[in-house]
Amino acid sequence: MDEIKDLNPDKKYISWQTMFLMALCTVIGIDDIMYNFQNQGMSVVFSWILMCVFYVLPYSLMVGQLGSVFNSEGGGLSSWVRGTDGEFLGYFTAWTYWAASIPYAVDSANEVIVDIGWAFTGSEKFQHSISNSMFAILTFVTFIVFIIVENRFSHSMEILSTIGGGMMVIMEFVMVILAFVGLAKSGGHMATQPFTWKTIIPKFDWHYFSTIAMLIYAMNGCELVAPYVTKMKDPKRDFPKSMMMLAAVTAFVTIFGSFALGIYFNAYHIPNDLKMNGAYYVFDMIGQQYGIGHTLLFIWAWTSLFFNCAMLAVLLDAMTRMLISDTGKRYMPSFLRKTDKNGLPINGYILTVSLSAFIMLLGIFLPDMNDIFNWLLNLNSIVSPGVTCWIFYSFMRIRRDSQKFPSDYVFIKNDKIAYAVGFILLAVTAIATLMGITPQDVPEGSSTWWYELIINIVAVVVLVGLGTILPSIRRREIKYGVAFDKPQWISIIAIILIAVILGLYMGGSKITLRGLYILIEGIIALFVVWIIGRRKPNLNDAFKAEKDGDN
């Protein structure tokens, strides 16, 4: 308790109600309901019930104990792993958490473009009027604009977060309540027919299990409130209350929200663009049903725009700062830690935007804008649950040696049972992550399916693999003064770009054994990069950013 007082000297406690609302904003939204309804139809109702009871609640309570154990370090995910397994694994956790944010940031930027189209036209016509390349360019421009806006007008972003987050919660409840009132007014008429108990029972096949990762992606994120556990007056009593309320409200929003979608959409014939445009369609239909025209559609469009603008600005700034500051000098190259006169990690921003552009490039050869949007969601449902595995791993570690990791709040007093629960959730999440790598929303075995499978693997390998390479680059900095000279950097970047573009071209073609050819050219490119990179750099021919770095 003394540590808690030290962290909270003014005794400004957070109530369990406030903690619940903070967690709710990080866990579930209307779009999450749309994504999973398109994947599973009405059977998602059954999945939501299972997830809320057997996943969200224990997951949230585990996060509470981890936040309490590592309260002096702020309760961040990387600090949990660092506290149990040392510096390198802590660094790698920070990297994977950051890498998982890249597709999320790209997805948020895409949603900003979609929101703008709906907010100003009131329809999806804007989406059909731009090409994939224009969509990618607009997304890239959005990144640049919001990096500038976040750093010059950070207070305005806080206002946008408050407006967007608050309106998002309100609109979730508005959708559910009006849908059920409308159902009663229509005499129980639903678009989903026939509707029986069998409608909500899933068909337990590969497709179903490969979509579990998207459910996990929709429901994770409550670890973001972990640092605030120590700011509660009585964590033992109040934190479980807030997490139980979180599970209850999440269950209400997801279960009844999915049922509400079944009122307006035929679950047996779901529109292919539901993930991208479903929220707009449903609010428009509700507005028409209540005789208020497109009013709800426009309210939702601006709500979603504010929400995604604020989220994108925070993601681009916070995740870059977190990575640079949390990984330390031992593993992070100095040129990435370099800051400008205002203390901004400018090279870190360049890395963030570059990898985001790489992700956009991977999807640019897909058939249309809707396929790009759906693929990005699929990629998020791979990398995000994969990072969630660290939470369960850390929980297992602290329960394996509970005497070494005392906590003011404890989830399940028996260490063996708690360890077993952590292991089960870790196994479920890991398996769902691996199965989620198979593409969704496209015909299985089609050329687009194979292309999406290839770019899923490429994206994960690049995002995670780069994190294993950076410590080696840092060691070269320490040994030689710089990691690479100008010719090395230029050659390495050029070879990687050529290999990626060639791989993307072959992936989108109908060449026989294209997967094997992509693997071979990838291995050759990596070998050439290794040959170039292992040469001793010339200090007199290095970029200024590296020379000025702190070695």
**Residues 151, 157, 163, CA angle at the centre, nearest 5°?**
175
Average pLDDT value over all residues in the chain: 83
pLDDT in tens, 72-123: 655 467 778 888 888 888 888 888 888 888 888 888 888 989 999 999 988 8
Do 254 and 48 meet the contact criterion of CB atoms below 8 Å apart?
Answer: yes
Do 351 and 331 meet the contact criterion of CB atoms below 8 Å apart?
Answer: no
Helix (H), strand (E) at residue 255: helix 235-264
Q: Label residue 2 by pLDDT band (50, 70, 90).
A: very low
CATH architecture for residues 16-480: Up-down Bundle (1.20)
Distances (CA, A) of 97 to 78, 102, 221, 319: 8, 9, 11, 9
pLDDT in tens, 509-525: 667 777 788 778 888 98
State if pTM tops 0.85. no
Q: Residue 108 has which token pair?
A: 């948020």
Please enumerate in sequence order all residues whose Cβ is within 8 A of that of 401, keeping only pairs 6 or more positions apart, or say none: none
As a 3-state breakdown, the chain gives helix, strand, coil percent values, each rounded to 5, of 80, 0, 20
- Choice between 73 and 1, residue whose per-residue pLDDT is larger: 73
CA 528 to chain centre: 33
